[in-house]
Structure 1
C-alpha cells in the first residue's frame, strides 16, 4: 500500500512551554489544526503555567544547529517559524540556518513574553538577544509578527532605531530588511483590536492592510504564538502573504473566542475549536456582524 501524501512541513524554533499556551507545544497544535506537520527545534526549557513565565534555561546553540540540520537534511520544509530564543549565540545559529535555506519563507514572532525578573544580568541578556535578532533575523524574515506596544518600547529604549520622529517602529523593521511586518494591537486600549500589515513593496508610509477585530473579554496567553504559527502553516500550504494574513487572524480570533481557563491564570486558545461539538464561534466584523474582519487595504 503506497504511503499517504506528506502534509506541508513547518519547522519551528521555540522553547518548551509546559502549559502549551505558547512555545513548541502551541506550534504543534496550531500547525496540526491547519493541516501541516510541525517539525520542532527546542531552543530552551521553561518553568511556566497559565499565569506566565517564571524561569527559562537556554539550550546550547550547537544543539539547536544539530536539531535543525538533521531535520532539514532529511525532509523538505515549506516554512520556518521562529519564536523564543534565549542567547545571542542561539540567534546567530538560527540565522545561519535560515541563510542556508533562504528560499523557505520565515515567520518571526517578536511577541514572546520576556521573563518577569529584577535580575540585571538576565535583563542584559534579553537586550543582547533582541539586538542580535534585529541585526541577524529581521533581514531574513518574510513576515515579522509583533505587538505594537512592544515595538514602541524597543524604539523608546533605543534598541530599534528610527530614522526620524515620523518613522514608526514597523517602518524601521522594513528598512532593516523584513519583507512584511504585521503589527498587532491586542494590548492597545479600545473595544476594537486593530492589526496593521506593512510591506510587500508598498509605500512604507501607508499600510498594506488594516484589520479590525472586536475585542474579546478575558486575558489570554498565546495569541501571538497562535497567529504566527497559523501564518507559517498557511505559507507552507502555498498561500501568498496578503491572503494568508487575514486568514491567520480569523483562525486566531476563533481560537481565542473558544478559549478556556485550565488553571488559575489566563485563558488559553482552543486551537481545535472546529473539532468540538456545537457551532463554531462566528468571527464578527467591527460592527458586530458575522462577516469577518473589517479590512482597509490601500
Structure 2
C-alpha cells in the first residue's frame, strides 16, 4: 500500500536559459532542493550560455497567462516566484492573476540584467514594475544596482524605503555586485532593517545566483516559514550552492543547486 506524498507547490514564471545556470531550470532545482515542487511557465526563450545572453524571445502574454491559469485550476500553489518577464504587456496580466489570488505570497526577482552585464528590461518594463508588480509583491529581491535603477536612490536603506513606498511588503537587497571582501544582504520591511547577513565573497563569477536565491525563498515560504527565517535559510543554501559550483561552460560558473545529491 503506497502512502500519498504531498508537498507544497511553487508556481515559477520566468525565462528559459538553455545553459541551465539561471531562469526556469534554476528555479525548479532550487524549489525541489528545498522540498517543495515546482510548476513552471516560460515567459521568454533566450539565446544564452555561461558567457552571456544574445537574444530574448518574449512569449505571447496571452499564452503565458493561459498556462498560469491552467495550473491554478489544477493546484493551489504555496507561492509564486516571478523572474525574467520578457515584455511589458505581460506585467499587467501577471498583476491580474495576483489580484485574483490575494493570499498567494509573491516573490519578485526584478531581473533587469544578466550576470554578464546585458540589460533585459526596457523603460516600459521599468515603469510597469514600479507601477504594478512591486505593489503586489510580498518580497522583492533586487541586487543593489537593480534597486538603484528602480528607485534612483544610492544606498540599500534609501533604495528599500522607496521600494516599500511603492507597495512591496518586504525588500531583500543583495550585495553580490560589490567588490567588498564580504557579500552583505539587507532585509527590510516597513519597520526598517530586519536582518543583515554577511557572507564570505567567493572567487569567480556565477550565473544564476539571484534566481537561485529568490526561488529558494519562495519554496520556504510555501513550506510555511516566516519571512526572516525563509530568507536566512535560502541565503545559506545559495551560498553553499555557489561554493560547490560546477564548471559547465567556458565563462561563469553554474550554481550546484542539487549538491545534496553529490556522491
- TM-score band, normalised by the shorter chain? over 0.9
Q: CA separation in 2, counterparts of 1:274 and 1:171?
A: 37
Which of 130, 137, 143 does residue 141 from structure 1 map onto? 137
Residue from 229, 252, 258 that aligns with 2:215: 229
TM-score where L is the length of structure 2: 0.94
Tell me which of 158, 168, 186 is aligned to 1:178.
Answer: 168
Q: Distance in 1 between matches of 2:33 and 2:245?
A: 15
| Higher RCO (CA 8 Å, separation ≥ 6 residues) | 2
Q: 1:195 — aligned with what?
A: 185
**Residue matched to 1:153:** 149
State the structure with more CA Rg. Answer: 1
Given the alignment of the two structures, is residue 211 of structure 1 paired with residue 213 of structure 2, yes or no?
no
TM-score by length of 1: 0.83
Q: CA deviation at 1:113?
A: 2.3
Find the counterpart in structure 1 of residue 118 from structure 2: 116
Separation of aligned partners in 1, 2:241 and 2:156:
35
Q: Which residue of 2 aligns with 1:251?
A: 237
| Aligned-residue RMSD, C-alpha | 2.0
Higher helix share: 2
Q: How does 1:1-298 map to 2 (within 5 A)?
A: 1=1, 4-113=4-113, 116=118, 126-156=122-152, 168-199=158-189, 201-202=190-191, 204=192, 207-277=193-263
Consecutive unaligned residues of structure 1, counting only runs of 5 or more, are 118-122, 157-161, 278-298
Q: Is the 8 A contact 1:182 1:196 kept in 2?
A: yes
Write out per-residue CA displacement over residues 254-289 of structure 1, whole angstroms, 9 at most, x where no aligned residue. 000000111111001000112213xxxxxxxxxxxx
Change (3 A) 1:167 1:214: closer
Deviation at 1:155, TM superposition (A): 3.4
Distance 2:3 2:50 in 1: 39
Rate the CA distance shift 1:272–1:167 in 2: closer, same or farther, 3 A: closer
Q: In structure 2, list runs of 5 or more residues that go unmatched.
A: none
User: What per-residue deviation string (whole Å, max 9, x for no partner) do you get for residues 46-102 of structure 1?
Assistant: 000011211101111100110000100111111000000111111111111111111
Q: Is the 8 A contact 1:83 1:112 kept in 2?
A: no
Partner Cα distance (2:77, 2:49) in 1: 31
Counterpart contact for 1:105–1:142, Cα < 8 Å: yes
Judging changes above 3 Å, is the alpha-carbon distance between structure 1 residues 176 and 221 closer, same or farther for their aligned structure 2 residues? same
Question: May I ask how many residue pairs the two structures share in their alignment?
Answer: 261
Query: Does structure 1 retain, via aligned residues, the 8 Å contact 2:82–2:108?
Result: yes
SS in 2 for 1:265: coil
Tell me, what secondary structure is at the counterpart of 1:168? helix
Shift, 1:153, TM fit:
3.2
Shift of 1:3: 5.5
* Deviation string, structure 1 residues 14-63 (Cα, Å, up to 9, x no partner): 01110111111111111111111101111011000011211101111100
